[in-house]
């Protein structure tokens, strides 16, 4: 799609980089070392409200989607993720 991507080892590493506002979108997993993806989404919603967040997971708990959306995620995807579904949701998150 022509986008540049950057990976981080953890939510804390992303936050410590202190350049969140330069990103057009954050895609995070629910389960990560340290801060969870849902906690990261809450942090972004409070501190960087213009950055949309897409949350993904392989976990099956029904309450995770509600928690992700309530934390500020623009969408929630379960793994394995169909490429077309990811593109569709990324396009929507970016407002294209």
Q: Residue 43: which pLDDT band, with cuts at 50, 70 and 90? A: very high
Q: Does 58 score more than 90 pLDDT? A: yes
Predicted model pTM: 0.94
Summarize pLDDT for 79-95 with one digit per residue, the tens: 999 999 999 999 999 99
DSSP string covering 12-71, please? Answer: HHHHHTT-GGG-S-EEEESS-SSS-HHHHHHHHHHH-TTS-EEEEES---THHHHHHHHT
Which helix (H) or strand (E) segment holds residue 78: the answer is strand 75-78
pLDDT digits (tens, 9 = 90+) for 65-74: 999 999 999 9
pLDDT at 96: 78
CATH superfamily name and code, 11-93: Response regulator (3.40.50.2300)
């Amino acid at each position: 799609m022509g986008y540049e991507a950057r990976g981080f080892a953890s939510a804390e590493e992303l936050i410590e980089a202190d350049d969140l506002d330069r990103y057009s979108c954050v895609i995070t997993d629910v389960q990560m070392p340290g801060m969870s993806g849902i906690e990261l989404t809450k942090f972004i919603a409070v501190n960087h409200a213009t950055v949309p967040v897409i949350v993904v997971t392989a976990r099956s708990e029904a309450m995770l989607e509600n928690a992700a959306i309530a934390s500020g995620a623009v969408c929630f995807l379960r793994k394995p993720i169909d490429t077309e579904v990811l593109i569709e949701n990324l396009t929507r998150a970016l407002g294209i």
